[in-house]
Amino acid sequence: MPKSLSERDQLVNWHPYTQMQTAPAPIGIVRGEGALLFAEDGKEYIDAVSSWWVNIHGHAHPHIAERVAQQLRTLEHVIFAGFTHEPAVELSERLLRLLPANQAKVFYTDNGSTAVEVALKMALQYWHNQGIPKTKIIALEGSYHGDTFGAMSVSERSVFTRPFQQYLFDVEFLPVPVPGKEAEALQRLEEIAGSGEIAAFIFEPLVLGTAGMVMYEPKVLDQILALCHKHQIITIADEVMTGFGRTGKRFAMDYLTQQPDLMCFSKGLTGGTMALGVTTCALPVFNAFLSQDKTQALFHGHSYTANPIACAAALASLDLVEHPDFIRNLERISAAHLAFAGKLDGQPGIKACRQTGTILAVEFEVGETSYFHNLRDQLYHLALDHGVLLRPLGNIIYVLPPYCITAAQLEQVYAVIEQMRLLVVEQF
Ligand SMILES: *Cc1c(COP(=O)(O)O)cnc(C)c1O
């Protein structure tokens, strides 16, 4: 008997966010199509989390595949220092047309964490280059900006970051301005900003993903950003999760009137086809690096910076983002989520339901909550047993589907959440 993918995997691979001693065997996936994943044992799964929030158009999209194949035959890679190429130029041109009007330049990296690292370095060096001693960064409590050291530093300190605590730089954390907490957050910002030492404020606009899909309103974010601008604090919108339709508009920042100085993108950027990160900035940030002095340049880069195949995938994904079906799908999913949340609200076992655009989060009522509570694993496996991939964050289950998910598939996902609710009611 030849070994299965899953068996061979266990001999050689180390998986992310996985306790390798106790985790069940990984599921071998052999094919994807639309919202579906097909496993080697013949089972199929609805990918209701877009494979960690990246596959916004579903799997193996033919348009993206075609564009990537073409690019592979033309130019697979070229160094991006001293050289450039059509896919990177076109992608920057098209991205900048879609982003808030002040965004002027695009810097390429490989993933969300590095997009954040670059934004932090741009913000800190912006002040350094001008000889202004602003070195502190503000972030939101509970936020997640990635797993590299700088990104960890501006993220919530947790059991995940504890082994590295002494190597993380100091950050001021603001309470998330969820409804009812707006005044508190604004007041705290006023206090911190008064010190004059703050270089930058980094935030996940409108939805804090890893925190458990914690949501807050555009109005208070506009007030926060206005305060930052008043105090000359560089603002960094981390749209790695919210970008490309997640919140019901193309970008979460499209709900605001204020514009950020820097923006980070990755997850949805290539439709989940290739690893690519982007940091964009407003012109004053870029200009602060211009000098006859070479040491004023941004000394950051990766071997695969602006890889042409990744850029081609992003261009193909943008074709789909700019197609009229795109907004129609966002509206369809938002409406379905809202209707389902309405049905759940007030039911036994439900503590809260939240929805922003295509993101639905359901918080179950349980005694004490922890990421490691075994309820999380029970919910995860209950969903898989019903052919749905959902990844609970502790007692919170969220749906973040590819925009091509069908109405019937969505109903199947909701039915699983209803099963979860019954399980919670039984146990708590
Ligand atoms: C996932 C995520 C990141 C990190 O992106 P990676 O590509 O996983 O490194 C950063 N910020 C936010 C808001 C994210 O959701």
pLDDT at position 151 is 98
Instruction: Write down the domain spans for the chain.
Output: 5-60+324-427, 65-321
pLDDT digits (tens, 9 = 90+) for 163-212: 999 999 999 999 999 999 999 999 999 999 999 999 999 999 999 999 99
Q: Which of 116, 321, 282 is nearest to 210 (CA)?
A: 116
CA distance 155 to 143: 5
Task: Look over the chain and give the mean of its residue pLDDT values, rounded to a whole number.
Answer: 97
CATH of domain 65-321: 3.40.640.10
Q: Is 17 a catalytic residue?
A: yes
Report the distance separating Cα 366 and Cα 103, nearest Å. 44
pLDDT score, position 155: 98
Set 126, 144, 398, 414: catalytic member? 144
Residue 414 annotated to the active site: no
Q: Yes or no: is domain 5-60+324-427 CATH 3.90.1150.10?
A: yes
403 is a catalytic site residue = no
CB-CB contact of 239 with 202 (8 Å): no
Residue segments in the chain with a per-residue pLDDT below the cut of 70: 368-373
Q: Is 272 in the pocket of ligand 1 (CB under 6 A)?
A: no
Residues whose CB falls within 8 Å of the CB of residue 317, separated by 6 or more in sequence, listed in order: 56, 57, 64, 244, 268, 269, 270, 271, 273
Q: Is the CB of 240 under 6 A from ligand 1?
A: yes
The per-residue pLDDT for range 67-87, each reduced to its tens digit, is 999 999 999 999 999 999 999
CB 156 within 8 A of CB 143: yes
- Choose the residue to mutate in 266, 269, 278, 304 for probing ligand 1, maximizing ligand atoms within 8 Å of C-beta: 266
pLDDT, position 144: 98
Closest C-alpha to ligand 1, atom 6: 112
Q: Quick check: do 5-60+324-427 and 65-321 share a fold?
A: no
Query: Is the CA virtual torsion 155, 157, 159, 165 positive or negative?
Result: positive
What pLDDT does residue 415 have?
Answer: 98
Residue numbering of the annotated binding site for pyridoxal 5'-phosphate: 112-113, 238, 302-303
Three-state DSSP class for residue 419: helix
Distance from CA of residue 351 to its chain's centroid?
25
CB of 315 sitting under 6 A from ligand 1? no
The rounded distance, in Å, linking the Cα atoms of 371 and 395 is: 8
- Is the CB of residue 345 less than 8 Å from the CB of residue 353? yes
Cβ atoms 276, 307 nearer than 8 A:
yes
